[in-house]
Structure 1
Amino acid sequence: MQRMQTDQKLKKEIIEIGYRMWLRGFIAANDGNISALTAGGKIITTPTGVSKGFMQPEMLLLVNREGLPVRKNNPYRISSEFKMHLEVYNQRKDVMAVVHAHPPYCTAFSVAGIALDHCVLPEAVVSLGAIPVAEYATPSTEEIPLSIRPHIQNSDVILLQNHGLLCVGKSLQDAYFKLETAEHSAKIMYLSMNLGNVQTLNEEQVDKLMQLRSGYGMSGKITSCKTGLGTEQVIRETIEEIKKPPAGGSDK
């Protein structure tokens, strides 16, 4: 009975987060997917082909660690992108929830191939660190889990090139809040770059923030962001990132 109550609570949280993602424009139509690890070691996940803003409990799927549905006669199907969630759970024993969405500013940076790796906002430095860009992978294929593998051990938040954003956390709320923080930071970074003045935090300022992070007992994985860069250098590095040829492609 206790496990059932816990599973029902997780379903309620998934539905609430799906609605928030839709309401804030982080997803459109049937985009995005959410999952959470249950007390019994299985995974509750959102189905394919439905708006995550209008889900009902019966739509959610209970899946084993091999990616197979526990209930065989459920009319709803597992998302083909669930492979990415499985990769996270297999690689990171500390992760209890995964959220994938297409927030506009983060996705714009992913399309441009620009990592959000400059130390700009204190909140983002403490909670997210540098956000890398995973190489482009064809949606719904085995390329997706392979693309995040180089990053997931060191980062809780990953830009998926030409695709969107992946966030993981110790709880559904934790993963979702990272999504909100990443999109908020991406928007501010974009606006600052267009204003022509980006002031990054220096090394001493970032060290103080990381001491605060330790004091708060914050969990999760973060990679150090770039410190002490002036406006011209930030913009120059950004332009250089845009000009880079795609991985495996030609620069001709």
Structure 2
Amino acid sequence: MSLDHADIREQICEIGRRIYARGFAAGNDGNISCRLSDEVVLCTPTLICKGFMTPDDLCTVDLSGRQLSGKRPRTSEIFLHLEVYKGDPAVKSVVHCHPPHAVAFAVAHEEIPTGILPEVEVFLGPVPRAPYETPGNDRFAATIRPFVGRANTVVLSNHGTVSWGPTVERAYWNTEILDAYCRILILARQIGRVERLSAEKVNELLDLKQQFGEAPDARRRFGGDLIINPDFGRPDRTPE
């Protein structure tokens, strides 16, 4: 990162304000982090409203989760963030929060469908759902391990979302894109019909994704279904 640490601290606080303003983090929900070096991560503290943080509220930790600095205790969910950093050295920031429309899918155990909106195909791709685990421990962090390096956003069953990227702004964008998409899906299902793009058109979007310099789509890197959750929106179908 070319930004100095003071600027990174301010960026984290700004993203915290956005998360709070959009209703993605009630009370003291959510946490944000940014990698400062190979061994040091800057993160939000525990038990603080993300809409009212100041730069000196933030903490630093090492990759084992040991707190190195900060006047407040680090977030109890830091291990979720560290799982991403250890699994993908290219990631520079992680955002975890509870965007309500995406969390509706998380509590319904409804897979996020693909092949519907261009922006989602280009900027997100498949959004997997991790199994539920009690927050704050190593088992919780391990639930996302299979998806690091394959996705940039994960839905946490019965809990929330976690997204990551090369900057704190981009990590947040992934969350915002997902929640807007989930809101559209919920509204479309209320209308009663969800139409999908053809496989040909989805592949055109994946070509565009590559042209934009986005990370290669998991469906092309690892194989798998191009259209995920194809039955979403069918009136006679209920989630498993």
Q: TM-score, normalised by structure 1?
A: 0.87
Matched, 1:27 2:38: no
Give the aligned partner of residue 75 of structure 1: 71
How do 1:153-172 residues align onto structure 2 when only pairs under 5 Å count? Answer: 153-172=149-168
Amino acid in the other structure paired with 1:61: C
When residues 120 and 90 of structure 1 are mapped into structure 2, their CA distance, relative to the original with a 3 A threshold, is same
Give the aligned partner of residue 248 of structure 1: none
Amino acid in the other structure paired with 1:31: D
Amino acid in the other structure paired with 2:233: I
Deviation at 1:80, TM superposition (A): 1.3
Give the aligned partner of residue 60 of structure 2: 62
Amino acid in the other structure paired with 2:27: A
Amino acid in the other structure paired with 2:12: I
Give the aligned partner of residue 51 of structure 2: 53
Matched, 1:113 2:109: yes
SS in 2 for 1:235: coil
CA distance in 1, matches of 2:181, 2:86: 29
Deviation at 1:153, TM superposition (A): 2.6
RMSD, matched Cα = 2.1
SS in 2 for 1:8: helix
Structure 1 stretches (4+) deviating beyond 6 angstroms? none
Give the aligned partner of residue 247 of structure 1: none
Give the aligned partner of residue 144 of structure 2: 148
1:55-78 deviation line (CA, Å, top 9, x unaligned): 01111001122211222xx33001
Deviation at 1:225, TM superposition (A): 4.7
8 Å CA contact 1:137, 1:147 repeated in 2:
yes
Deviation at 1:220, TM superposition (A): 6.7
Q: TM-score, normalised by structure 2?
A: 0.91
Q: Does 219-228 or 129-138 show the bigger shift?
A: 219-228
Give the aligned partner of residue 227 of structure 2: 226
Deviation at 1:6, TM superposition (A): 1.0
When residues 238 and 133 of structure 1 are mapped into structure 2, their CA distance, relative to the original with a 3 A threshold, is farther
Give the aligned partner of residue 211 of structure 1: 207
CA distance in 2, matches of 1:237, 1:207: 27
SS in 1 for 2:94: strand
8 Å CA contact 2:101, 2:183 repeated in 1:
yes
SS in 2 for 1:158: strand
CA distance in 2, matches of 1:124, 1:24: 19
Q: Which runs of 5+ in 2 are unaligned?
A: 220-224
Q: Which runs of 5+ in 1 are unaligned?
A: 245-252
SS in 2 for 1:25: coil
Deviation at 1:154, TM superposition (A): 1.1
Deviation at 1:117, TM superposition (A): 2.6
Give the aligned partner of residue 222 of structure 2: none
When residues 158 and 228 of structure 1 are mapped into structure 2, their CA distance, relative to the original with a 3 A threshold, is closer
Amino acid in the other structure paired with 1:38: L
How do 1:131-142 residues align onto structure 2 when only pairs under 5 Å count? Answer: 131-142=127-138
CA distance in 2, matches of 1:107, 1:203: 28
Structure having the higher Rg: 1
Give the aligned partner of residue 184 of structure 1: 180
SS in 1 for 2:127: coil
1:128-186 deviation line (CA, Å, top 9, x unaligned): 11211100111112221111112223111100000001101011111011011000000
Deviation at 1:219, TM superposition (A): 2.9
Matched, 1:98 2:94: yes
Q: Does 216-225 or 26-35 show the bigger shift?
A: 216-225
Amino acid in the other structure paired with 1:30: N
